[in-house]
Structures are given as C-alpha cells and as structure tokens.
Structure 1
C-alpha cells in the first residue's frame, strides 16, 4: 500500500517564462467512462454484438488527440487510471463508494486495450495499486508546480478543483470549461484554497460521502465567505440559526472524517511507478509508435485510422515532442473516422478567424473558396422562419482552423462600416449557383431558402453534417453543438450567449460584429471538422452511404416542395371555423345539461368530480397518484355507454381542430406567395419518416367529416387539379418481402385482397365465403401484428376476450410461419446488435432492447418488428419523391409536388398534364425498388386534396 500523508505546499510564483515547461496530466478514469457513454456501441465486427467492444477505446484516443493538439509543446505527459482494489479511504470508511454500480463488462474489457493505446500514443500510463488516480494526479501536479512547471490537468471531475493554483489549471476538453483561479471562484463562489472545505460541507453523493444535510452550494459558499474557513464555521456552529445550523451541529463529529476522505493527497509515495521524484524525467512524452499503432488499429477494426497512419498522412508527434500540425492538414491518423483534424477551439496558436470589412479581404476569400475542393458555408439571419429570413452575415471555412465572417446587416451601436449586402451577394452569386463548386453545410435546406429569399438558387451542396449524423446515429441529437461536443470534444459559443433568452433576447443583427464573427466563423469551422469526422465512416459502409445519398437527394426535393407551398381557401376555412365555434358552444351546453351543472370541460379535476362523485361512473383506471383517470383512453371507453364522455370527447376534438387548423391556417399564408409553406424536418423520426410543422400537415384528422373538410380547403389554382399518389398496403408488402412468407408473397403476387386472403387462412374458409366482419378482423390482425400488437391489444381492438385473441394470433402464425420466424429472428438480432435495418440498410437503433425494465424492453421489441417496415416505407416514399422530381425536371413539366404526407405524394397538376401524370407517377413510384412483391401506387385527382382521395 502506497502511503499518502496529508501535507500543505506553498503556491508557486506567478511569473512564467514563455518557454516554461508543461506537464499534461490526464484523468484516464474520467476519460474512459465519458468515452464509453458518449460514443455508440462500436465493435471490432459491427455485425457481431459478441465481438470486442471498441467505443471507449476510440473515444479515449480521440480525447487524447484533442489535448495533444491543444498543448503541442508539453514536455511531460501522463495518463492516470484507477488501479483495481481498495485504498486507504476504504479503511477509513467502509461505505466509501459503496453505492457505485460495478463497471459494465463492455467497459471492463476495453481497459487493457486503452492502456496499450495510450502507451503507443506516447503517454506514460500510470495505475498505482492502493492509490486513487486523483491522488496520483495531485502528487504529480504539486511536485511539478513546485518546480515552476505549468500543470494542465484534463478531467471532467470538479473535485480536482481543490488542486488549482497559479501553476495548476484544470481543463475539461468535453465541455470547454477551464478551472483556473478565476474560473474556480466564478463557478463555485469560493477560492480554490477553500475548495476542500466547500466539498466537505456538501459531501459527495457519487462517492457516498455524507456532508451537512440540506446544505447546498449556495449555503456552503455563503458560510465560507462569512467565516473564512471550515474550522471557523465549526467554531461558530452554535451561532448559526435555522435548520441548516441544526444539521451542521449534528454533523460536527463526522466532518473530520469527511475531510480525510475528500482531500486529494499530494505527496503519495510513487516509488516503483514514478522513480526519481521530484525529477519528472520518468514521465517525459514520447513519439507515437507508428508501426505498433497501425497493428493496434487493425486489430480493433479502426480501418481508416490504420490506413491514415500507414499512408503517413500525419507525422504529428506526441504532446511532448514539441511540434504541432500545420493548420492546413487534412487528416490525423490518431483520430481517423471520428475526427480528422483537431477542433478549432483546441488549436493553440493555430486558430485564424477573419472578419471581412473591405473588398481586398473579400476578394482574397472569394479566391480561396473558388479554389477549394469543399467549402463549409453558414448564414446568420433575421429569423428561424426560412421563408422570411434575411441575411445578416455569411461565414466560410475551407481549411480546419481557418474561417471568415462577412458582416452585412448588423445594426448594433458602434457597428463598423460593412460591405453592401446586395453587392456582396451579387459577387458571390456565380460561385453560389455553380454546381461544380462543392459546398458543405449544417441543415443545408434552411440556408438554401435563405439565399433564395435574396434571389439566389444555391447549387453544388455536396454534404450536410446534420444528415450525416442522422444516418450514422439516428438515436442521438443532430444539432451542430451536440455534434461538435460528441465528435470533436469541443463546446462552442451558444446562440443564447450572444443574444440572450426569452423576452430579453436581441436580434442577431444587434450582436456586436466581433462576437458575431467568432460565433459564425466557429460554426463553419466546426461544420468542416464534423464532416471530416463523419464522412469517412459513411464512405466505409456502402449501405449507409446509399441512405445518406438518398437523404441528400430528398433534401433537394423537399426544398422544392417547401418553396412551392400549397394554396388554401382561407374563406372556406373561416366559414368552417365559425361553424365549429357554434358547435363547440352547443356541445358545452349539452355537457352542462348532462352533468346537471356548469363546469370547465378542459379541467380533469372537475371532470373527475362530476364523473365519479356526482354521476358515479365506473373508474376505468387510475393516475400515478391514485386518482381516477379522465384521459383520452378513459373517455373513449366510457363514451361507449355514457353520453357525457362522448360530448366531452367531441368537444375536445373540434376545439383542437379549430385552434390548430381552421383558425390558424389562413393566418399562415405567406404574403409574398399567397401560399402556406410547411417545414419538413428531415432528421427527427428514428424510422426515417419526415415530420411536418408550421403547419403540421400530417396530423389533420381524416376519420371524421370535419377533419376531411379541412383538407377540402387545400385547393388547386385555376387550370390545375390536385393529385394524390400513394402506395397501396405498403407495410404489408414490405412484411411479405422481409419475411419471405410464401402465403403472403402469393397473395400479393396474384393481386389478391390480402385481408380477405388472411381471413380465409385464419378462419379456415374459402376466399369467396369470407364475411365483411371476418375481413375486418383479418385487417386488424394484419396491421396489428406489424406494430407488435399483443393478444391483449388485439382483444381490446376487436372487442373480444383474450383467449379468442390468442387463438386468432396462433392460427395466423400457423398459416404464416414466415412472419413468425421473421419476428423471432428480428427480436434476437436486435438484442444482439442493438439495432435493426431497413431493406436498404438504414439503421434503426433500439437503446432499450436489452433493458432490465420489462415494459421498456417489450416496447423496444415491438419497435424492432415494426421499424424495418416503417423505415423501409419511409425510404421508398423518399425514393419516389426524388424520382418524381427528376422526371418533372428532365421532362420540363409544369406539375409540381406540393406535399409529402406519410406514404403519399400530393401534386398540383395542370389540366393538360393530368393524363401524363395518371400513367407516369404510378410507374415511377412502382419502379423505385425491386421487392419480392410488386409495389403498387394509386392516384386520385380532384379540385382539392380531400376529393383527390
């Protein structure tokens, strides 16, 4: 056991020479946990969940590389890990860390490879038995600081803040947080010299170390400011009033033990691990062992990393080697396909963001983007409404670490003279509209609209980092800030940091130009860096690359649909809105009469009192607090037998229809176009489906006459009609293709009524003998099983008992054994890999598929069965949308797509092109993919959307 007595050291003097040596200390234990939880479940063999996990390995390599780029001249470099076994703290307090969950097996198996990789990258690896990593870090940090060596400790652990002095700084590469003397004071409200006292008062719930009960950060900081130290607080404990004072007095006996547990030791005996202290020669950084590193990368499946290192794309040395990369380098073998060049915020001395105020500077940057293979492009605007937004400024980046911002419409006080917006756009227009000049963006569809608002049709967008993320990791956030933190280890400037929040938020045009420039240039720089991280991963996987290319083509088609918009009959909606208002008032009156008193139809509490206290209606289910529930499901059940719940349900439905559509749609007409323009969110649904908002055109109710009447207001202009083209029974056809079930394949191949065919199979009758009721049952079974419906769900849906429902499902699987096998195999495959795939290779991740929580796991299993079908349907309608748009362009048709809703394309068709459309659109949609069963698309035509069905 290595001994760590508690000692005090004096702070080093503040003056530091420019050539002052540096020691980099990495909290390896913090790194490996953060890497494990931040990265996807990567494996040596991506298709074999039983193979060696590698996510934490790759993540630690990435984070060390960030640090290496940030401090290229550090002479000493150590990565410290916790060793297995106990320490002196366990002897002092057996409950120390007792409640921590054991390390996951998938992480434990990566520790040895991580140690190996860190060593090969040129870092000294330390894991000292009997000594916690924090104490090793504390000892090395204090030893170096006493020799006027600058110490940089990289960790996300705030407990290390107690080590901070003028010579010791804590940095967090994941969040960008820097804890120096000023940073600690600002963050915690106490100086670093009082951080131990502060932590003792709070305790540490993570390590199971009690503090003073109910004393939080504010109280702890207040006491320390008032009394000056923990010892002084203890001396004055009798004077401190209230519950906090009482709890303090109860804790007095414990506090010395708490101090022992929470104080980081700074003079541990590290003999045998770091010999010769105070000399730091034993932890001098080394060059990367490139040959061994290539073999390591190959062994753990990091193909891009290995190729990069073998090709000699980067000869960057270890942190201690004293040489950093050139700012124009394109890739780095130690980071490979997670990020190719160091994050801009981490490039010490390399970051170069220009602000363009004059024409010579503009011409210089125009020459750069003209010559570049790929340019990251970002706009700053006046609005999030893409049809209304106007440009405030534009930024570019063509090389990692370099970017430029052109301010064009800033109006804040003291704003410098800016170049004229119209002239700048005119000079940029040839480059922007040149398809040969490749461009990159984050959410490019928005920027395309913004430029179009200024009369510029941008061409040549080759990549979108939002869509790259969506394809690679659909279950994670896809905003630029999240991507930069996840893949670059970097936290950038937030919009709210510049503009504020809520009522006090200012327009971007009023942001000071220097701050706006840093923000926007950083966005372009980050976008380029994220692309360099994600694109190699897509290049390596043909299926995922194909899905990404489909998303890029879909973005183009959706931009055209959004730009076109849809014509609505505002007068018809206003008439309907008035009529709905009258009906809503009538329903309210009827409800009051049925209840025998007035009440608020929107109040669950009042409804509950009337239902269950006054009228004595049966309680269907209860809320989490034990009160009778009045949710939608309960109202629907009670409405089967009682008129009041039925009136309330109708009142709710009509009120929502009026508030969401008939009142609002006329107000959403764009003044410039006379049309309504929805926004299609492409990177939201995990299945690949689109999400429509502002307005949401996908949720207009169509099961009742009033909802269908809303769709009548979506009209064609004079000389045109509305056409609706959608796939017939698409998910059942996909089920037939994926499962390969012979009976299902035969039904679709022979053009049978699949529900009638299923009814014949399930009920054991001839097809022509199937009754309408049996067909209805079969339809519910067909679609229910696609969505993973249980026998309980089927029984409730059909109004039958559970035994009958179970028998129906059993008979279904007897007749369709291929479907049963597909479901069983898919569940198991999802458990093994953590995801399922569409027919075309889109990955749909299921984080809860192995959850110990039964309901969550069951939900994930149902999703595993349905997601490949729903996702494949989403892929098919996107393919159709792309092919239809290509045909319209190539044949120079005047027909325009105006909406995409679920499996349906809605078009505005000149009367002269109706016959062409009737034959060509179904042909195009049926021909986008060759499945084991024929795809069938059907077209309807009418003067409005509803009548086109």
Structure 2
C-alpha cells in the first residue's frame, strides 16, 4: 500500500523500498554463528589480560590522545596524525570547577567588574531557537579563567517550568552590560561569534570587541573536520561535555532552552563559556605557529562581521512573481506527467524509483547501467543521463525531476521564508563547512539557483531591489583559470591573460590547430571551454569523451595537444598530486591548508577521485580566499564612504549588492577596482559588473 500514502512520508517510504531487505538483514541478530574452535565454555569469553602494546598501537592509530596519556603515563604521548597540527599537551583539568548563576544585582555588578578587568573574556549566548534572525536571548555566560564561569539567566519562562524562575530582568541586564558588550576594546572570544552577534542585535545590542572565534580557529587548522563545541572539546581538550540534547532532549519531546530549569541550564551554559576559553588558549598557539594559518585566520575574522551585516541586510523578493512561476511550473509538470504516461503506456508514480525501474527495465527493456546496494536497477541521475542519450522517457524524467526540485525548493518555499519584520529573505552563510574555504548558504540556500536554464533565470528575476535602487552584480572573470595560470606558472596561460585574449578561443586554436583566432568556430570555442574547466577539475580522457560526445582517442588527442601547449599545467598537476600524497594536504596561494589524507594509501577509483580533488582544491580555495578579501574590501569602502549601498548575497565568485540610483555610477566604477586590487597575482585579476532591476538582469 506504499503508493496510497500521500505527501513526504509516502515519497520517502517509496524511495526506501529497495533498501527494506538490506535493512532487515542489518537489524536481525544472527544466533546461529559457529564459534571458533578455541571457545568451548563461557569461561573462554572472559576478558584477557590487557595487551598494553596493542592498545598503544590502537590509541595511536585512531588518535585517542587522552587514553594514550592515561595508559602510558606520558603527558607527551600524543601522536602526530597525517601531518596535522596536534596539541603538544592536553591541558590539565582545573583543580576546582566554579560555576555561578547570577540572579542578583550584586552578583551582576561583581561580574561586570570582573569582565571589565580581564584581558579577554569568553562569551556565549543561550537562546530560544537556532534561527539567528528570530532567536531571542535566554541567557549569557562568561568565563575569564579555566574552570570558572558565570551564567546570567534572563529569559527562562517556558511553559514547562513549574514555577516562575528566579532571574534578573532582561532589559536591566542588557543595559548594565551594554557598555562592555559594545566596547570595541573589550576583547572577547566566542564559538561561532556570528550567531551571538545576531542574537544580541535582535535585542538591540551591537556586539563589538570580537577578538577571536574558536570555531574559525578550528576550521583554519583543519577544514576537513567538524567544528562543533563537542567535537572540539574531545579533539583538543580530551573532554566530553554536556550535550545540548542532554539538556533539551530530541525529537518530538525536545524543549527549547527557555524551558530548561535554570540550575541545569547554568551548568551547560557556564561549561560552554569555560570550554570556549580553554579551547582558545590551546588553539591560539597553533594558529600563531604558522604564517599561513595566521593569514587565513585573520581573513576569516574580518569576513565574519561582514557576513553578519549581509545576512541582516537580506534580499527583497517579488512574491507575486514566484507564486506565478510556481503555477506555471505546476502546469508544465502535469504536461510532463501525461507525456511520461504515454511513453510508458500506463500511469505510474514518477517519483517512485521502484515503479520507474519496473517501467524502464522490465516493461521497456532498457539496459541496466547500475544497481543499488540491494541489487535493484538504479534510476539515479547518472543512470538517467546515460539512458537519455538514446531514449526519450529517461530524458523526460530528468526534466520532470529538475523542474519539481526548482518548484519545491524555490518557487513554493521562498515566499514562505520572507521575514515579516523586514519583508526580505535572510539566508545564513556558513563559514566553516566547506573544505576549500568556500561559503555555503542555507535557510534558504541561495547559491544553487541555476543560472544556465531558463527556469533558473526566471527564479533569479524574482530577486529585486527596493524602489529607487538597482541590483548590481560583480564577479571575477574566469577566476579559477587565472588562478591556474598563477599557480602553475605556465607561460602560455599567463601570456594569454596578460594580453587580454579570449582564453577559450586561444585554447581552441591550439587544440584544433586553427592558425587564426578569428577562424575559431563557436563549437570549437565551447569544446575548448569544456577542456579548460574540465582539466581544472581533474577530468581525464573518459570524462572528456563523455562530456563532448567524442571518442576516447579524440579526447586523448585534445588533452595531449592541450598539455603540449600548456606544459606548466601538466607539471602542476603532477606536482600537486605528489604534494598531496607526501603531506596529506595542499595549500592555496595564501596559505589555507586543505587536507586530503584519503589520498595516502588509496588505490584505484578512490585514489583517482582524491587526486582530482587535490588538483582543483588550490584553485577553488584560492578563489574563495579572493572573494572573501573582496567582501571585506567592499564593505570597508561602503562604511568609509558612508554609503547606503549594501551587499545582499555572495554566490561563489559573485557579489550581489543593492545600490541606490544616486550611488550607481560610483559603485559601478569602484567595484572592479576594489575587487581587482585585493591581491597581486602573476596575471591580472578582472572583475566585471552588471546592473539591473533584478538579479537576472544583472547577470
């Protein structure tokens, strides 16, 4: 009856059907296993004497540093893993833990005196929600010394509490703390400072003096690992703290923090501030030990307040346009559905992989390209793209899936995410989630709206400016190719960029043996563009042949000619693969370290994939560094000139601004200059600007 269940639950159930048998096997306890011959009685299962040497090897291998110290009694017994930066010594636990709940004016006065005298203070906020634009302050915690912490509850009033909690008035607390919170010279360290800055801004307080951010420290030290408080405590302090779920629960029974009893909340909040300070004291020396770390950490700290400003700026949407697009998409989806029924000769659920598999492979007899873990024929995107080359139904299903995703993700959802207080959408940018240093966007994700399809461009047209303003988009021209020219040092690539040539036309002339650039056809230029960008991403003969629809021999010929013309690129690729294998990491031009330890020891397809990532990472990472530098430069210019222009989005290599008509020409002239001057490479940095009433027209 799976097809009778409606909505998301039904969809998820139908998609999971192929995995049912495997899941059943995984959760079934086998009670018929044959025991080894050496086990005759239950006594044979008693634990053996501890094998210290074997344990040391295991702890060393998996990085259990605290256990290794306890086992060996050696405080320096900390393994150096994969060349990563390691803490030389896990700090000793303070002899006394002193956490205080501040519920009186006298205690508040004493706390203020303490933080005002401190060189640096760890600060954290507790809130009633995790969406930064709406989260309200429930309490503040602070620490000036390891093992010490204060919690000031101000918003514990949830319905789950048995009685009115004892706490100071929020307005009083904020008014008393405001001079310190807004003092740029009062140094503070936070874990994910951007969130706390939003929370306090929601309460009318502008947080200043953010000197350090332990989340960004951890991200700079190793962007491949998680940077949450619990993970950092285990990694750098060898401790397991109180989890949020322990305090608030999870799932349907979860409560918000304002409903947590103050005594429990205080322990959790004080620990957060205490651990933030301890992490700072451990990680700062690691950051300062390497110039590259210092440079990138300084950049990330500059970017953080810019992101806070950009998120609060938000972007205006044409809600009516999106609703109309949603209606048009729905009609088109209905048409595609009917066409699919005609091609299949019967009605079926287009969203059901199982039903689609039956139609394609059992009824229509199409070749099975790939199977799922359970052995069923796969109908994933990769398979459908391959089948779509020769069969109409898979091609139609691809269009249906793409359009359905645009409808559900954007035209249906975006209008519901307009914030009532501002009439704008406020996305959240994550600074510490992408290995290469790029930003990611969520709630909503504004970085994945297609730009090459008409439907995607139509959605972009709904991102509009307020009356009297325009949308201005500035992006780096061919940034990753320019970075490739800079990093590889290839003379041919550098010369092409220095002379301002069309790099794709130049490549086409070399690869297709065309003497005159003017004689290069558009088809040849497009193929050369695919080669240029494909090789940046480590594309090989097989991938290029598939992408261009040519034979492997032809693809190999094109690649050989490319490397003959640009030998520095081939040398770079060989060099970077060796660096990644030897060190476990590669670096951007500015010293951002990107870890690829899986390349060490990997074989076959896994190694090839790791090598492709390692080839591209320095270029993507350097481009990410440059756009972050540009964001800082543009925001500094806006503030210095006291302009009303504001950055509203960052999409990979592009900055999007909302600009008053009166400032249009000033910003049109300033943006290319500001963006091209953030760094000096061996080839020119070029930024291009477009202006329109909406985002599509500014492309």
Please give the TM-score of this superposition, normalised by the length of structure 1. 0.66
* Residue in structure 1 matched with residue 4 of structure 2 by the alignment: none
What secondary structure is seen at the aligned counterpart in 1 of 2:697?
coil
* Residue in structure 1 matched with residue 322 of structure 2 by the alignment: 573
1:500 maps to 2:249: yes
Quote the Cα distance in structure 2 between the aligned partners of 1:560 and 1:665. 21
CA RMSD of aligned residues (A): 2.4
CA contact (8 A) 1:722 1:942 kept: yes
Deviations 1:592-634 (A, max 9, x none): 1111111000111111111122222233333344433221122
1:262 maps to 2:48: yes
Q: Deviation of residue 262 (structure 1)? A: 2.7
CA contact (8 A) 2:537 2:615 kept: yes
* Residue in structure 2 matched with residue 824 of structure 1 by the alignment: 574
1:617 maps to 2:370: no
What secondary structure is seen at the aligned counterpart in 2 of 1:848?
helix
* Residue in structure 2 matched with residue 347 of structure 1 by the alignment: 94
- Residues 827, 288 of structure 1: alpha-carbon distance in 2 compared, 3 angstrom cutoff: closer
CA contact (8 A) 1:338 1:487 kept: no
Deviations 1:274-319 (A, max 9, x none): xxxxxxxxxxxxx999xxx9xx99xx9xxxx9xxxxxxxxxxxxxx
1:390 maps to 2:136: yes
- 2:239 pairs with one of 490, 496, 500: 490
CA contact (8 A) 2:137 2:199 kept: yes
* Residue in structure 2 matched with residue 368 of structure 1 by the alignment: 114
Q: Deviation of residue 252 (structure 1)? A: 7.6
CA contact (8 A) 2:120 2:186 kept: yes
Quote the Cα distance in structure 2 between the aligned partners of 1:792 and 1:252. 53
What pairs up with 1:256-335 in 2 under 5 angstroms? 256-259=43-46, 262=48
1:901 maps to 2:651: yes
Of 874-883 and 810-819, more deviation after overlay is shown by 810-819
* Residue in structure 1 matched with residue 226 of structure 2 by the alignment: 477
Q: Deviation of residue 418 (structure 1)? A: 0.9
* Residue in structure 2 matched with residue 809 of structure 1 by the alignment: 559
- Residues 450, 814 of structure 1: alpha-carbon distance in 2 compared, 3 angstrom cutoff: same
What pairs up with 1:616-695 in 2 under 5 angstroms? 616-695=365-444
Of 874-883 and 582-591, more deviation after overlay is shown by 582-591
Quote the Cα distance in structure 2 between the aligned partners of 1:352 and 1:768. 76
1:878 maps to 2:619: no
Q: Deviation of residue 542 (structure 1)? A: 1.5
Of 843-852 and 864-873, more deviation after overlay is shown by 843-852
Q: Deviation of residue 399 (structure 1)? A: 1.0
What pairs up with 1:397-412 in 2 under 5 angstroms? 397-411=143-157, 412=161
CA contact (8 A) 1:716 1:943 kept: yes
What secondary structure is seen at the aligned counterpart in 1 of 2:106?
helix
- Residues 470, 252 of structure 1: alpha-carbon distance in 2 compared, 3 angstrom cutoff: closer
Higher relative contact order (CA 8 A, sep 6+): 2
Quote the Cα distance in structure 2 between the aligned partners of 1:805 and 1:790. 9
* Residue in structure 1 matched with residue 293 of structure 2 by the alignment: 544
What pairs up with 1:155-234 in 2 under 5 angstroms? none
Aligned length: 642
Of 883-892 and 752-761, more deviation after overlay is shown by 752-761
What secondary structure is seen at the aligned counterpart in 1 of 2:694?
coil
Quote the Cα distance in structure 2 between the aligned partners of 1:600 and 1:252. 54
Quote the Cα distance in structure 2 between the aligned partners of 1:636 and 1:248. 48
Q: Which runs of 4+ in 1 moved over 4 A?
A: 246-252, 335-339
* Residue in structure 1 matched with residue 207 of structure 2 by the alignment: 458
* Residue in structure 1 matched with residue 40 of structure 2 by the alignment: 253
Quote the Cα distance in structure 1 between the aligned partners of 2:533 and 2:34. 61
CA contact (8 A) 2:496 2:503 kept: yes
Deviations 1:366-418 (A, max 9, x none): 00111111110001101000000001111000111111001111122245421
- Residues 464, 337 of structure 1: alpha-carbon distance in 2 compared, 3 angstrom cutoff: farther
Quote the Cα distance in structure 2 between the aligned partners of 1:509 and 1:765. 70
1:858 maps to 2:590: no
Quote the Cα distance in structure 1 between the aligned partners of 2:609 and 2:187. 43
Deviations 1:128-174 (A, max 9, x none): xxxxxxxxxxxxxxxxxxxxxxxxxxxxxxxxxxxxxxxxxxxxxxx
Quote the Cα distance in structure 2 between the aligned partners of 1:627 and 1:388. 45
What secondary structure is seen at the aligned counterpart in 2 of 1:450?
helix
Deviations 1:715-751 (A, max 9, x none): 0000000000000000000000001101000000000
Quote the Cα distance in structure 2 between the aligned partners of 1:710 and 1:867. 30
What secondary structure is seen at the aligned counterpart in 2 of 1:593?
helix
Q: Deviation of residue 338 (structure 1)? A: 5.6
Quote the Cα distance in structure 2 between the aligned partners of 1:257 and 1:368. 61
* Residue in structure 2 matched with residue 422 of structure 1 by the alignment: 171
Quote the Cα distance in structure 2 between the aligned partners of 1:771 and 1:533. 59
Q: Deviation of residue 251 (structure 1)? A: 9.2
CA contact (8 A) 2:588 2:619 kept: yes
Quote the Cα distance in structure 2 between the aligned partners of 1:775 and 1:896. 37
Where do 5+ consecutive residues of structure 1 fail to align?
1-218, 220-241, 266-286, 306-334
CA contact (8 A) 1:337 1:535 kept: no
- Residues 573, 288 of structure 1: alpha-carbon distance in 2 compared, 3 angstrom cutoff: closer
CA contact (8 A) 1:337 1:532 kept: no
CA contact (8 A) 1:355 1:404 kept: yes
Question: Looking at CA atoms only, which structure, 1 or 2, has the larger radius of gyration?
Answer: 1
CA contact (8 A) 1:397 1:404 kept: yes
What secondary structure is seen at the aligned counterpart in 2 of 1:567?
strand
* Residue in structure 2 matched with residue 703 of structure 1 by the alignment: 452
Quote the Cα distance in structure 1 between the aligned partners of 2:657 and 2:165. 48
What secondary structure is seen at the aligned counterpart in 2 of 1:262?
coil
What secondary structure is seen at the aligned counterpart in 1 of 2:698?
coil
* Residue in structure 2 matched with residue 834 of structure 1 by the alignment: 584
What secondary structure is seen at the aligned counterpart in 2 of 1:409?
coil
